[in-house]
Structure 1
Amino acid sequence: MTWPQSFLAFLKAQLALLLLRVLTAGPIPRHVAFEMDGNRRFARRTGRRAVEGHSDGFHTLKQILEICMRLGIRCVTVYAFAIENFNRPPEEVDALMKLGEERLVEIAQNGALLSQHGIRLNVLGQRELLPSHVQAAIEKAEGMTRQNTKSILNVCAPYASRHEITLAVQSVVQQALDKEEVDSSSITEQSIDENLMTTLGGSPPLDIFVRTSGVKRLSGFLQWQCCENTQIHMVDTYWPDFGLRDFVPIILDYQQKMWARSKV
């Protein structure tokens, strides 16, 4: 007997939901970050243009964000565009700008993914480097989610950890100057942490860091936030192929380590 494809798809979806419910019985991370790497290599592997790989990557982001919300993860941070990505071919950069402009508003509008789950959108980075029309789209999308308080989606673009840390230190120094309390003791780990883009956006400490595509380095993403309590996972899967089968082992590993830590 051959089962209809629609029924098999329905059965697969129900099994996925059941699995997620089982996982929620254990400890759940508050903040997960994804370095969404491998879009271009995925496109080349399938004989398509780079921008099509980035479009597939956005579809994966929506799926993973849905999974995170069903698990009860409060904050998701993604690396969408590095400052150094402006050095890529102009046609690819222009295509990425257009894709970002369209998709951010798409997922933020009433009834779409962010509003359905009460997710607030924060776009973190050196936004003045972006074209004016992209900046306007970001402001519109952020404004559409400002009243959402259940969860947070941080989209880092254009972003670099060194830039974020530099701005945080500058802010701490300026605050000391404003209070006329210029002293080296005013620059502490805590004061820097309190002025990071993620912290200012209301994000909790980073529990899990995931980089796809098999590259094993942070590459300027959340370098300060990746502390001794952050569990770092480098997976071989290209981001457009990343799914539940890749994410479940990461969550199980987190739960196992949290249970082990509670017994110490």
Structure 2
Amino acid sequence: MSWIKEGELSLWERFCANIIKAGPMPKHIAFIMDGNRRYAKKCQVERQEGHSQGFNKLAETLRWCLNLGILEVTVYAFSIENFKRSKSEVDGLMDLARQKFTRLMEEQEKLQKHGVCIRVLGDLHLLPLDLQELIAQAVQATRNYNKCFLNVCFAYTSRHEISNAVREMAWGVEQGLLDPSYSTNLSTSYRPGILLCIEDTLMSTKIHISCLPGAQILVRETNINQDYTCEHKIIMVISVIKALVGGTTRISSKRYGPGKEGFPQGNE
């Protein structure tokens, strides 16, 4: 399936979209692509088919976001932790990524039409070389588009990013580029020859995902908060597996962050 699903919305979809757009709209939504294996198990299909169907659903979701005027979407596609899965499943996921990034390069006219900038974040050197090259081509081809943005987090975990950031800052102190004792709260924050002091703002600059405006909503299928960058977001926990095989969909939400007890729970 195409990354950007073309075609008009159905009458029912347009009706729903108009109702949604009548209220406040987030500028940036993030999705954790979770539950593909559970979906495959429920539907009694191969895991690879579950992952493929997950991408198809992502394409539909991106279409919805485009029609609703949500101009930035972040997709947590593949965690570094996923490398711990069986070799056959990891190889299948890498093959799926190859297919989809190859398809992406074949759809440059669509990307240009909608002005979609593709950004891929993570430790890409952990990926096969040919996949790295495909990703680089996609990023390079869309780098100047700025109407809407699709951020794909690949080979990514917050824990790994924080570890890398700490190592980089330790190296900066060792080289005399960072001052571990200085605070930017002082009016004389920067001294000659010193690049930055060590504090939270510097930590943010060392994390790949920090270059992105914070997503207002994070959507995932399971109720586990594992992501360091989720602070101050509304977390939408969606029980969709049962809905896909004939049940109902349950959505609950919670606002995570300092001083936030929670967000009202959704209805059945």
TM-score class, shorter: 0.7 to 0.9
Question: Where do 5+ consecutive residues of structure 1 fail to align?
Answer: 1-9, 254-264
1:120 to 97, 114, 117: 117
Specify which structure has the bigger relative contact order, considering alpha-carbon pairs within 8 angstroms and separated by 6 or more residues.
1
Q: CA deviation at 1:23?
A: 2.1
Q: Aligned partners of 1:48 and 1:124: how far apart in 2?
A: 30
Percentage of identical aligned residues: 34
Q: Deviations over 1:48-68 (max 9, x none)?
A: 110111110001111111111
Aligned match of 1:188? 199
Aligned match of 2:132? 135
Q: Aligned partners of 1:240 and 1:151: how far apart in 2?
A: 30
TM-score, structure 1 normalization: 0.77
Aligned match of 1:6? none
**CA separation of 1:164 and 1:27: change in aligned 2, threshold 3 A:** same
Matched, 1:58 2:61: no
Aligned match of 2:16? 19
**CA separation of 1:125 and 1:246: change in aligned 2, threshold 3 A:** farther
Matched, 1:206 2:206: no
2:223 to 212, 216, 226: 216
For the pair shown, which has the larger CA radius of gyration, 1 or 2? 2
TM-score, structure 2 normalization: 0.75
Q: What letter is aligned with 2:239?
A: D
Q: Tell me if the contact between 1:105 and 1:140 (Cα under 8 Å) persists in the aligned partners.
A: no
**CA separation of 1:121 and 1:62: change in aligned 2, threshold 3 A:** same
Q: Aligned partners of 2:57 and 2:242: how far apart in 1?
A: 7
Aligned match of 1:110? 108
Q: Tell me if the contact between 1:60 and 1:239 (Cα under 8 Å) persists in the aligned partners.
A: no
Q: CA deviation at 1:239?
A: 11
Which of the two has greater strand per residue?
2
Q: Aligned partners of 1:191 and 1:240: how far apart in 2?
A: 43
Q: Tell me if the contact between 2:237 and 2:252 (Cα under 8 Å) persists in the aligned partners.
A: no
**CA separation of 1:95 and 1:237: change in aligned 2, threshold 3 A:** same
Aligned match of 1:32? 29
Which of the two has greater helix per residue?
1
**CA separation of 1:171 and 1:111: change in aligned 2, threshold 3 A:** same
SS in 1 for 2:137: helix
Matched, 1:150 2:147: yes
The answer to which of 36-45 and 174-183 deviates more is 174-183
Q: What letter is aligned with 1:110?
A: Q
SS in 2 for 1:158: strand
Q: Aligned partners of 1:170 and 1:30: how far apart in 2?
A: 33
When the two chains are superposed, the root-mean-square deviation of aligned CA atoms in Å is 3.1
SS in 1 for 2:159: helix
The answer to which of 91-100 and 181-190 deviates more is 181-190
SS in 2 for 1:157: strand
Q: CA deviation at 1:115?
A: 3.5
* Count of aligned pairs between the two proteins: 232
Q: Aligned partners of 2:243 and 2:151: how far apart in 1?
A: 19
**CA separation of 1:77 and 1:105: change in aligned 2, threshold 3 A:** same
**CA separation of 1:155 and 1:178: change in aligned 2, threshold 3 A:** same
Q: Aligned partners of 1:210 and 1:246: how far apart in 2?
A: 14
Q: Tell me if the contact between 1:120 and 1:151 (Cα under 8 Å) persists in the aligned partners.
A: yes
SS in 1 for 2:179: coil
Q: Tell me if the contact between 1:168 and 1:196 (Cα under 8 Å) persists in the aligned partners.
A: yes
Q: Tell me if the contact between 1:35 and 1:211 (Cα under 8 Å) persists in the aligned partners.
A: yes
Q: CA deviation at 1:216?
A: 1.3
SS in 1 for 2:108: coil
Q: Aligned partners of 2:30 and 2:180: how far apart in 1?
A: 34
**CA separation of 1:79 and 1:11: change in aligned 2, threshold 3 A:** closer
